[in-house]
Structure 1
Amino acid sequence: MKTKHIFKPALLSLAVTSAMYSGHALSQENNGASEPDVEVIAVKGIRGSLMRAQAIKMDNTSIVEAISAEDIGKLPDSSIAESLARLPGLAGERVGGRTSGISVRGFKEDFTGTSLNGRELIGIGDNRGVEYDLYPSEIMTGATIYKTTEADLMVQGIGGTVDLQTVRPLAAQETLTLTGVYEMGGNDSDNPEFDNTGKRLALSFVEKFADDTVGIAVALATTESPRNERKYGVWGYSANDDGQITPSGLDTQAISRELDRDTISAVLQWRPTDNLDIVVDALSIDYSDSGVIRGFIEPFNAAEGSLSGSGINVSGTQASVNPVLRTDPAQKDGELQTLGLNVKYNIDDNWSIMVDAANSQSEKRDLRGESYAGLARNGAIDTFGTRQFQMSADGVFFTGSTGLEAFSDPALLQLTGPQQWGGGMANIADQFATDVNTVFTDKDGNPIPFSYLNAQDGFLNYADFEEELTTVRVEAEGYVEWGIVNKIKYGVNYSDRYKMKDNKGFFATASSYPYSEAIPSEYLYNGLADLSWAGLGQVVAYDGFAPYNDGEYTLNDAGLLEPDRLGDTYTVDEEVVTIYAKFDFETEINGFPVIGNFGAQYVDTTQSSTGYLGIVGSNFAVCDDNDDGQVDADCILSEGDEYSHFLPSLNVSIEVDDNQFIRVAANKTISRARIDQMKASGFVKFDQNVDLITIPNSQADVDEYGSPWSKFRGNPTLRPLEANNFDLSFEKYFDDEGYVALTFFYKDLVNWTDDAREIIDFTNDSTNNGANYFIPGFHDRIIQTTGLYGPANVAYDAGDLATPPDFGYFEYFQDGLEGEVKGTELTANIPLGNFISALEGFGFAGSATIIDAELENGSPIPGQSDQVLSLTAYYEMDGFEVRVAATDRSEFATYQRGGSNKIETATRDKITQVDAQISYDFEGSGIEYLEGLRISLQGTNLTDEKEETIGGDGIVTLRREFGPSYMLNFNYSFY
C-alpha cells in the first residue's frame, strides 16, 4: 500500500502542482484518499509567476529555482535565455548583443546539464553547451534549475541542471493564443543594407478530444530580430621612450545582424486508460543569423615628432596610413530537430514502469567571408594617407584625415588586398609568379616582382558542425514500506552521441592580380556605411559575398595550406550506460518532519575520436605528399578510452517550523570534457618571423625567448570534470508569494582539464615516432641585411643562412587539475503589501551570489563571476503591471570562436543590464471582446551597457556597443 505523507504541502503549492502536472500523476498520489478541498485562485502576471515558481522551490527536496508561465506562449521574454539569466545563482552571457549562454553557480553552460522535459538537449555550437536563445519563450511553459542533483536526474553537470519544459496538453487548459511583437533597436544601423526593426509572430494552442483522453499542443513561432553593434578594437598599445602611448594596430567595425528563427513544437498525449499514458513530442528549429562586419583593420604608426601630451593623453598624426577596408559577410545557418516518445504504465496501485526514447539531430554552417579593399594592391604604391588622432583612456579617436578620400568613393576604392598577408600560400607560390614588378627593390636595388605575398585579397572561412544524440531509458517506480523508505525508483539509461566539426577555409585572389580594379558597380549598396562614431568617416558599402558568388575570386583550399585548420577537423563519439536507483524517505527527528532522497548512479562510458595531425610536407602542402588533394594516411589519428564513475547523492529537507526549512545536499557530479578538447586532431605549426627563426638552438634559449615551432593536440582520453558537492540552505516562506533563502555551497573539484606544455625536439619528435618536421628552404631563411636579429641579438651577415632552433613547445590537455568553489546565495521575494497595506501590488525579488573559486594553476573557471546581483521591482494590480529588472555581473572568463574557426579564451568585463516592462491585461476590463488581450512594452539594455575589455595600462582594448532594444507585444487568447 502507499504511504501517506507525514505532513502536507501548502495549499497554494498543491493548487499550483495541480495546474502544472497531469491528473494521472495526482491520481497516483491520492488514490484511495479523499482529495483536499483546494480553492485554486488564478493569479496572473509576474505575481502569479513568482507564486508558481515559489511553490516548486518549496515542495522540492532538492535546492532548485524555477520559472513558470501562467500558460503556453506567455513568458515575457524573447527567448528562454533572458528569463533564466534573472534567476538566483544564474548569470547570462551576451553573444552579439543577445543573451545566449547561461552560467549556473559560476560554471559556463558547457559544464551545466540542459534537458528538455527531462531529456538531454543538444545545441548547434562547438561544444556541449546549449545556445539558450535558440528557444523562443512562446514554446515554453517554464524551467526548473536543479542546483543539487538526484539519482534519477539523467542530465547533470557540475554547475547544475537546467530542465526546460513544454506543455503537457492533458494537464493544461485549452487555449488558442496569438502573439505579435514589433521590435526596434535603439541604435540605427550603420550599414545601409540593414535596418533596426524586426518582428515576432507566434500561434499556440492546446486542444483535448475523446473525453479528455487525447490532447494536442502546438506552438508555431517565427522571429526576425535585428542587432546593430559598434566594435572598437586595437591590437594592443605601446609606449615610446617618452612614455607616450599609442595603438599598435586598429580593428574597428560596424556590425549588423539579423536573427531569423522558425520554430515548431508539437505534443500529442494519449491516455486511453487511467493506467496508460503515452506522450509524443517533436521540436524543430530552423535558425539563421546573417549580417556583415565592416570596418578598418590596419597597423598603426605615429609620425615622428607629431606627438604632444603625455601618457595616454596624447594627440598626434598617424603616418603611412594604408588601411584594409574589411567587408566580412557572415552567415550562420543551423537546424535542430528532436523527436521523443514517453510511455508510462501503472502495473497496479503501487508500481509503474516508464519507457522513454528520443533522437535529436542538429547541424550548422558558420560562414564568414572576408573581402578586402584599399588604395591599391600591396606593392603597387608607396605613398599613403595620414590621420590626426586623440588618445585617452577610452582608446583612440580620429579627428581628421588626408589622402584617404577613396574609402568614400566607389570609383576610386580598389577591390584588392592593400597589406602583405599572403604568406600562407607559400606552397603554391608558382601559381602567383609574374614578371610584373612592385614599386619596391631589394638590398641590391633590383626590383621585387609581385608574388604570393601580395596575392591575398580575401578569405572564405567556415566550419560545418553535425551532432546526433539518441537516448533510451527504462524505469520502474514503486511505493514500498522499508522503514523510513517509502518509494523507490530505479532504471537504466543509454545514450549515444556523435559530434563532427569540419574546419574549412579558402584563400581568395581577385582576377585583376597582379593589378587591381575598382569595385564593380553591381556589388555596391545604395548609401555608405557610417564609421564616424570612431572618427573614421563614411566608407563604401558593397556585398562581400558577391566576388565569391560570381567567380571574381580565385579560391585555394586553406585546409591543405594551414596545418592548424586541418588539425581542427574531427569527430567525437560517446556511448554512456547509466544504471541508477533512488530511494525517497520521510520520517521525524525530534518532532521535526524530515523528507528527502538518497541514491546513486553507476555510469559506464566509451569514448573515441578520429581526426588529423596537420603537418607541412616536403612539397609545402599539409598532409598531401602525393599532391592528390587527399589527406595522407599517416596523418589520420584515432584514439579513445573506456571508464566508469560511481555518483552517490543525498538530499534532506527538514521543516524546523511552519514553512521553514533546512535543506542539506551532498553528491558527486561530473561534466564531460569539452568536445573541442577531446578531439584527436592537432597540428605542427611554424612561424616565419625572422626574429623567431634566429633564436639560438638550445632548450634554455627557447624557454627564455620562444620558438617558431609549436605543436598542439587534443586528448580523446580525457576524463570528465568531477566535483564533490555540499549544499546547506535555510528557507523561510512567509506568504504565498514571499520567502527568503540563504544558501551556502561548496564544490571540491577533484578533476579539471589542465593545459599541459612541454619542450620537444621538432627534428626528432618523441611524441610522434621521432618525426622530423624541418624542411630546408622552407623553415630556414637567407639573411638579406647585416645586423642583430631576434631577442637574443644574434649577429648575421647578409647572405647567411639562418636555421631555426630544433626545439619548441608542445601543448595538449591532461586530467588532474584540482580546485575548489565556495559560494553564498541570498534570495528574497518580498510582496510589500504584506507589511504596508497601501503598498498592495508592489514588491521586489532579488538575489546576490558571491563566489570564491580557485584552480590550482591559478586559471579562472569559464563562466565564473565573483559577484552576481539581481533585483526586480514590480507593481501589479487589476491587470496593470510594471516591472524593472537590473542584473549586475562582475568580470568573468569565457571562450569564443577565434581565428581559423578555433576556440580561444576571452575575458568579459563587468556589466550591469537594466530591463523594464509595462503591460495591461484586459481580462478584468469589462470589455468582452478585449478580455483575452494583453499588451506590453518591453525594453532591454536600457542603459546602453557596453562590453569593455580594459588592459593593464587602464586603456580600453575592446569595446562593443549594442544599444537598447524595444518590443511592443500583443498577446491575445481567443479562449
Structure 2
Amino acid sequence: MKKSRLFKPAMLSLAVSSAIFASQAYAQQELNPNPDEDVEVIAVKGIRGSLIRAQAVKMDNSSIVEAISAEDIGKLPDSSIAESLARLPGMAGERVGGRTSGISVRGFKEDFIGTSLNGRELIGIGDNRGVEFDLYPAEIMTGATIYKSVDASLMVQGVGGTVDLQTVRPLASQETLTLTGTLERGGNDSDNPEFDNKGHRYALSFVEKFADDTIGVALALASTESPRNERKYGVWGYGDNNGALIPFGLDTQAISRVLERDTISGIFQWRPTENWDIVVDVLDIDYSDSGVIRGFIEPFELNTASLTGSGATASGIQTNVNPVLRTDPAQKDGELQTFGLNVKYYLNDSWSVALDVAESDSSKRDLRGESYAGLARNGAALAPGDQRTRNFNMSPDGIMFSDSNGLEAFADPSLLQLTGPQPWGGGLANLADQFETDVLRADGEPYDYFNAQDGFLNFADFEEELTTVRFETFGLVDWGIVNEVNFGFRYSDRVKSKDNKGFFATASSYPDSTAIPSDYLYNGLADLTWAGLGQVVAYDGFAPYNDGEYILNDAGLLEPDRLGDTYTVEEETTTLFAKFDFETDVAGFFVTGNFGAQYVQTDQSSTGFIGVVGSNFKVCDADDDGAIDTSCITSIDDDYSHFLPSLNVNVELDEKRYVRFAASKTISRARIDQMKASGFVKFDQNINLIAIPNTPEAVDTYGTPWSKSQGNPRLRPLEANNFDLSFENYFEDEGYVSLALFYKDLVNWTRDGNQTIDFTNDPTNDGANYFIPGFHDRIVGSDGLVGPDGTEYAPGTYLTPPDLGTFSFFEDGLEGEVKGAEVTAQVPLNKVADFLEGFGLAGSATFIDGELEDGTAIPGQSDRVYSVTAYYENGGFEVRVAATDRSEFLTYQRGGSNKIDAATRDAITQVDAQISYDFADSGIQYLEGLRVSLQGQNLTDELEETRDSNGLVTLRREFGPSYLLNLNYSFY
C-alpha cells in the first residue's frame, strides 16, 4: 500500500513544524518521538516566508483550512491577531471602537465559531461565547489555523468553523531573544483635553533550550497603550416636518479612550526521555479600556417659520434649545488566565497516549457613568426659547449647526450647572416620596421625581470559568485502507455569570442646582466644533460619584429588567470521539482523508431571577430588607445528546493539485444571554396606554403597557449539516489558486418567540397576578383625557390597564441555509515576468447567499467580502498594502441597561499599509538583528455609517487613521 503524505516533511520549515504541532496538539500529533528530526529550515523571511509557511499548513492538512504564520515569535505584522485573521479567505473583521475585534467565518459571527488556543477551548471576557480577538497581541502568537471543515478529533467546533490560535513550542523552534518597541499616533487629535493621540507597545520574546535540548522555555511579554479618538454623530430618527426631514433629537459626542493591555505568555516543554513529551502553558492578560464619552443629547424643536427647503435638504433655526451636556466616564477592566498541561507518552513506535488538562478564568467589569450638566435644572425658568437658538443645515449626511445664541454657558464653567436639564427621572417613580418638595417649578407645580435624575451609574460584572480534561490514544494500524486511529474522551465544565447593576444619581443640591465645582474641571475645553456645536466645558464625570456629591438609588430595586438580566449559566459536556485516517489508490488517484464521529452528552442549567415589582413598589424586595425575595429566584436545567459524524476526502489529481470534499454535522451552543433563566415583567407608566380598553381587539390595535421577557435554559445548540468542495492548485511554494464551494443546512437556530398572556393570571408563572393598586392604575387629571381609541374620560375617572400583554422568549426550531463560494489566489508576479521578481499578490473573494426561514439575517453575514494584499520584498526591503471590503451585515452590541441589542453595520472598506527594512543582510554587523517598519491603519479614514430608508445618516462614527513606528531587534 502506498504510504506517503500530501506534503513531504523535507519541504517544511521549522516554523511550519511548530505551527502544525501547536494547531494539531491533540488530533494529529506525529507519532515519531523526535519530531524535530529531518526538518529542513527554509531561510525565507518577511511576508514571502510567512505565505510559504501558511501555504504549507493549508496544503498538508486533511481538512479544508486557512492559515497564517509568523516568521518567528513576536513577528506578526499586526498589533493583534484579529487584524491578521480578517484578511484570510472566507473571513471578515468587525471593528469595535475603531479596532478589529470580532471575526466572522463564512458569514457567522464569532459567537458561532469555535475558538481555541493550541487546541484548547478559549474563553473571552465579553457578554457571550465569542472571543474578542484584539485581546491577543500579535507579539505572543506564531500563527493560526482556521478549520472550515472538521474532523472527529477537533473538540472545539462551531457551525461557522474553528479558529485555532498558536503560541510557540520551544523544542520545535529556534532559540531567540527579541525586543520590540512601537510608537503609535492617531490620525485624529483628541477632542477631549484630558486625552491625547499617542500610544506605545513594548514586547519581549524569548525561546531557549537546555539540557541537550530536552528542556525548552518560551516567554513572551507584551504591554500596550493604544489611544482611540472617535467622533460620533447620532439622531433619534427623522420625521416629516412641513415637508422637510428633521431629526427628533440629537446625540453628538467626542469620545476618547485608551486601551491598556499587559500580557504574559509562558511555555515550558520537557522531554525527559524519547517516550515522554510534557508541555505546560500559562497565559495571563490584564485589560483596560477607559475614557470618556462627552457631548450633547437633546430633543430637537424647529422654528417652523424659519424652514426653507424640503426632504433631506433643508435649513432653518432650532428653537427652545435646552441640551444636556453628557459627560460619561467609561471604564472596562478585565483579566484572563489560562493554564494547561499536556502529557504525551509513546508506548512504542506505533502507539501513544496523551492527557491534557486545562483551566481558564476570566472576569470583567464594564462600567459607564453618566453626569448631566446644562443651563438649569429641568422645571426652572429659562430665557425665552427664541433667545436659545441654533441655525442648522440638513443634508443626507445629517445636520450641521452654526451661529448659536443663548448657549454661552456651555463654554463657561462658572455658568454651567451640574444638574439634569431634561425631565428624565421617570424611572424614580417608585421613590416618589423621597423627592417630594415644597419648592415650585416655573409652572407653579412642586418639583418631583421627574426632575430628580442628574446622572446614572451603569455597570455589569462578568465571570467565566472553564475546566477541560482530555484523554486519547493515537495508533498506526494496518486495517485495510485505515492507517491511523485516534480515539478518546473529553470532559468540560463551563460556568458563566452576569451581574447587572445600576444606580440613579441625584445631585445634593436638588431641587436647586449649582455650578460645576472647580476641582472637577480639566484644563481646556472639549471640542465639538466639527459638528457646529462649539467648545464645551470638560470635567471629571466620576468626580461627583467619588466625593459623594451624587445621592445614589439602586436601580435594581426600581427596574425589573436589570435584575432580570442577572444570571448564572452552567454547562457540562462529555464527548466520546473516534477518528480513522485512511489512504488508498482509486482509479490511479491517490486518496487520503479521515472519517469518524463524536458523541456529545450535555447537562446545562441556569439560575436567575424573575424581576417583578411588588406591592411596596420595589423589585423583589417585599419585606424591605434589601435581599432578593426567594419567590423571585428561578432555576432550570436540562440534558441532551448529539451524534456528530464527519468525513474528509482528499484526491491528489497530480502533483500539488487536489480536490477536497468534506461533510459533517456541527453545533454551536446557544448564546449565553439567551440561555439565562432570568426574566422580568415591565409596565409602561404612560397614562395613554393605561387607558387602552381591556379587550383583545383593543390590545391588538393600540398596544399594551405590559411586557414580559425571559431566557430559555432548555435551548438546544445551533446545528448545521455542512458540505464542502474545494479545488486547490499549488503551482509553487509561494503560489496557489483555489475555488471552494460550501453549503450549510441549518437544521436548528434560536428564534424569538411571542405569546399573549394575562398579566393578572400569568399561565407561565403559576397564575401570578402582577397588578398593584396604586402603582399600575391612574386617576384622570383635571384636564381630562382622550384615550387612544377616542374614548373621553372626565377628570377623576379611575383607570386600570388592560390585562393582556406580550411574553417574549427564545425557542428552538428555526431553520435556514447558507450557500457560498470562495475564490483565492496567491501569485508571485515573477511568474508573469522576470523583472517583477519580489512582487506578489494575495487575494480572495467570498460570496454568500443565506438567510433563516423567517427572513432574518444571520449575525455576521456579509453577502460579499473581498481581500487583497499587494507586496514587494527584496534584499530586506518590504512594502505591503492590504485592503479588505465587506458588505453590510447584522451584528449585536451592548445596548441600554447593559443588555444586548441588534445592530446593522454598513459596508466598509479598510486599507492598511506597511513599509519595512530588515538589516539582516545589510552587512552592518551590529544592526543585523534589527527590523524597522512604518505601518498605517485605516488609511482612507473609513467611516462607520448607518442610514435609514430615506438615505439619511442616523449614526456615524469617525475614528481616523493610525500610524505605528516599529523597531524589532533579535539578539540571536
Q: Bin the TM-score by the shorter chain.
A: over 0.9
Counterpart Cα distance in 2 of 1:113 and 1:767: 35
Secondary structure of 2:770 counterpart: coil
Contact 2:31 2:346 (C-alpha < 8 Å) held by counterparts: no
In the TM superposition, what are the counterparts of 1:438-457 in structure 2 within 5 Å? 438-440=441-443, 447-457=444-454
Counterpart Cα distance in 1 of 2:176 and 2:499: 44
Counterpart Cα distance in 1 of 2:632 and 2:365: 25
User: For structure 1, which segment, 374-383 or 831-840, has the greater mean C-alpha deviation from structure 2 after superposition?
Assistant: 374-383
| Partner of residue 429, structure 1 | 432
The CA deviation at 1:610 is 0.3
User: 1:438 and 1:275, CA in 2 relative to 1: closer, same or farther beyond 3 A?
Assistant: same
Counterpart Cα distance in 1 of 2:522 and 2:787: 47
Letter in 2 for 1:4: K
| Partner of residue 529, structure 2 | 532
Once the two structures are superposed, what CA deviation does each residue of 1:74-110 show, in whole Å capped at 9, x if it has no partner?
Answer: 0010000000001110100111101100000000000
1:613 has 2:610 as partner: yes
Secondary structure of 2:163 counterpart: strand
Structure 1 residue runs of 5 or longer lacking an equivalent are 441-446
| Partner of residue 482, structure 2 | 485
| Partner of residue 313, structure 2 | 313
Letter in 2 for 1:470: T
Secondary structure of 2:123 counterpart: coil
User: For structure 1, which segment, 767-776 or 565-574, has the greater mean C-alpha deviation from structure 2 after superposition?
Assistant: 767-776
Secondary structure of 2:320 counterpart: strand
| Partner of residue 778, structure 1 | 775
Counterpart Cα distance in 2 of 1:41 and 1:496: 42
Secondary structure of 2:561 counterpart: helix
Counterpart Cα distance in 2 of 1:741 and 1:12: 21
Letter in 1 for 2:148: K
The CA deviation at 1:10 is 7.5
Once the two structures are superposed, what CA deviation does each residue of 1:423-477 show, in whole Å capped at 9, x if it has no partner?
Answer: 111111111111111111xxxxxx3101111111000000000000000000100
Contact 1:786 1:796 (C-alpha < 8 Å) held by counterparts: no
1:124 has 2:125 as partner: yes
| Partner of residue 298, structure 2 | 298
1:970 has 2:967 as partner: yes
In the TM superposition, what are the counterparts of 1:794-943 in structure 2 within 5 Å? 794-943=791-940
Letter in 2 for 1:397: M
Counterpart Cα distance in 1 of 2:728 and 2:548: 66
Contact 2:31 2:350 (C-alpha < 8 Å) held by counterparts: no
In the TM superposition, what are the counterparts of 1:619-768 in structure 2 within 5 Å? 619-768=616-765
1:162 has 2:159 as partner: no
| Partner of residue 274, structure 2 | 274
Letter in 2 for 1:268: F
Contact 2:74 2:205 (C-alpha < 8 Å) held by counterparts: yes
The CA deviation at 1:11 is 4.8
1:520 has 2:517 as partner: yes
Secondary structure of 1:82 counterpart: helix
Counterpart Cα distance in 2 of 1:61 and 1:179: 36
The CA deviation at 1:807 is 1.1
User: 1:926 and 1:746, CA in 2 relative to 1: closer, same or farther beyond 3 A?
Assistant: same
User: For structure 1, which segment, 305-314 or 122-131, has the greater mean C-alpha deviation from structure 2 after superposition?
Assistant: 305-314
| Partner of residue 394, structure 1 | 397
User: 1:832 and 1:957, CA in 2 relative to 1: closer, same or farther beyond 3 A?
Assistant: same
Counterpart Cα distance in 2 of 1:401 and 1:802: 45
Aligned residues with identical type, % of pairs = 73
Secondary structure of 1:437 counterpart: coil
| Partner of residue 443, structure 1 | none
User: 1:674 and 1:32, CA in 2 relative to 1: closer, same or farther beyond 3 A?
Assistant: closer
Contact 2:938 2:962 (C-alpha < 8 Å) held by counterparts: yes
User: 1:511 and 1:402, CA in 2 relative to 1: closer, same or farther beyond 3 A?
Assistant: same
Counterpart Cα distance in 1 of 2:600 and 2:892: 29
The CA deviation at 1:657 is 1.6
| Partner of residue 411, structure 1 | 414
The CA deviation at 1:18 is 4.0
Counterpart Cα distance in 1 of 2:10 and 2:301: 72
Secondary structure of 1:170 counterpart: helix
Once the two structures are superposed, what CA deviation does each residue of 1:627-669 show, in whole Å capped at 9, x if it has no partner?
Answer: 1111111110100100000000000110112111000000000
Counterpart Cα distance in 1 of 2:287 and 2:724: 39
Counterpart Cα distance in 1 of 2:34 and 2:135: 44
Contact 2:15 2:72 (C-alpha < 8 Å) held by counterparts: no
Once the two structures are superposed, what CA deviation does each residue of 1:808-829 show, in whole Å capped at 9, x if it has no partner?
Answer: 1110000000000001000110
Counterpart Cα distance in 2 of 1:544 and 1:936: 39
Secondary structure of 1:600 counterpart: strand
User: 1:681 and 1:18, CA in 2 relative to 1: closer, same or farther beyond 3 A?
Assistant: closer
The CA deviation at 1:32 is 12
Contact 2:81 2:138 (C-alpha < 8 Å) held by counterparts: yes
The CA deviation at 1:19 is 5.5
Letter in 2 for 1:653: N
1:97 has 2:94 as partner: no
1:603 has 2:604 as partner: no
User: 1:12 and 1:786, CA in 2 relative to 1: closer, same or farther beyond 3 A?
Assistant: same
The CA deviation at 1:780 is 2.0
Letter in 1 for 2:763: S
User: 1:332 and 1:6, CA in 2 relative to 1: closer, same or farther beyond 3 A?
Assistant: closer
Contact 1:709 1:762 (C-alpha < 8 Å) held by counterparts: yes
The CA deviation at 1:897 is 0.5
The CA deviation at 1:784 is 2.6
Secondary structure of 2:304 counterpart: coil
TM-score normalized by structure 1? Answer: 0.97
The CA deviation at 1:15 is 6.5
User: 1:415 and 1:16, CA in 2 relative to 1: closer, same or farther beyond 3 A?
Assistant: closer
Counterpart Cα distance in 2 of 1:573 and 1:27: 32
Counterpart Cα distance in 1 of 2:462 and 2:658: 46
| Partner of residue 369, structure 1 | 369
Contact 1:3 1:481 (C-alpha < 8 Å) held by counterparts: no
1:214 has 2:215 as partner: yes
| Partner of residue 83, structure 1 | 84
Letter in 1 for 2:433: D
Secondary structure of 2:859 counterpart: coil
Contact 2:737 2:824 (C-alpha < 8 Å) held by counterparts: yes
| Partner of residue 344, structure 1 | 344
The CA deviation at 1:28 is 5.3
The CA deviation at 1:9 is 3.1
The CA deviation at 1:181 is 0.2
Counterpart Cα distance in 2 of 1:417 and 1:566: 26
Contact 1:183 1:197 (C-alpha < 8 Å) held by counterparts: yes
Letter in 2 for 1:719: R
Count of matched residue pairs = 966
Secondary structure of 2:562 counterpart: helix
Counterpart Cα distance in 2 of 1:914 and 1:293: 27
Letter in 1 for 2:8: P
Counterpart Cα distance in 1 of 2:958 and 2:556: 34
Contact 1:6 1:586 (C-alpha < 8 Å) held by counterparts: no
Contact 1:12 1:736 (C-alpha < 8 Å) held by counterparts: no
User: 1:761 and 1:346, CA in 2 relative to 1: closer, same or farther beyond 3 A?
Assistant: same
Once the two structures are superposed, what CA deviation does each residue of 1:950-971 show, in whole Å capped at 9, x if it has no partner?
Answer: 0011100000000001000000
RMSD of aligned C-alpha atoms? 1.8
User: 1:500 and 1:7, CA in 2 relative to 1: closer, same or farther beyond 3 A?
Assistant: closer
User: 1:879 and 1:745, CA in 2 relative to 1: closer, same or farther beyond 3 A?
Assistant: same
User: 1:20 and 1:161, CA in 2 relative to 1: closer, same or farther beyond 3 A?
Assistant: closer
Once the two structures are superposed, what CA deviation does each residue of 1:765-797 show, in whole Å capped at 9, x if it has no partner?
Answer: 111111111122221222236566454333223
User: 1:748 and 1:523, CA in 2 relative to 1: closer, same or farther beyond 3 A?
Assistant: same
The CA deviation at 1:317 is 1.0
Letter in 1 for 2:248: S
1:150 has 2:185 as partner: no
Structure 2 residue runs of 5 or longer lacking an equivalent are none
The CA deviation at 1:558 is 0.4
The CA deviation at 1:13 is 4.0
Counterpart Cα distance in 1 of 2:525 and 2:787: 44
Secondary structure of 2:306 counterpart: coil
Secondary structure of 1:438 counterpart: coil
Contact 1:22 1:170 (C-alpha < 8 Å) held by counterparts: no
Counterpart Cα distance in 2 of 1:472 and 1:517: 60
The CA deviation at 1:29 is 5.5
Letter in 1 for 2:850: A
Counterpart Cα distance in 1 of 2:30 and 2:854: 52
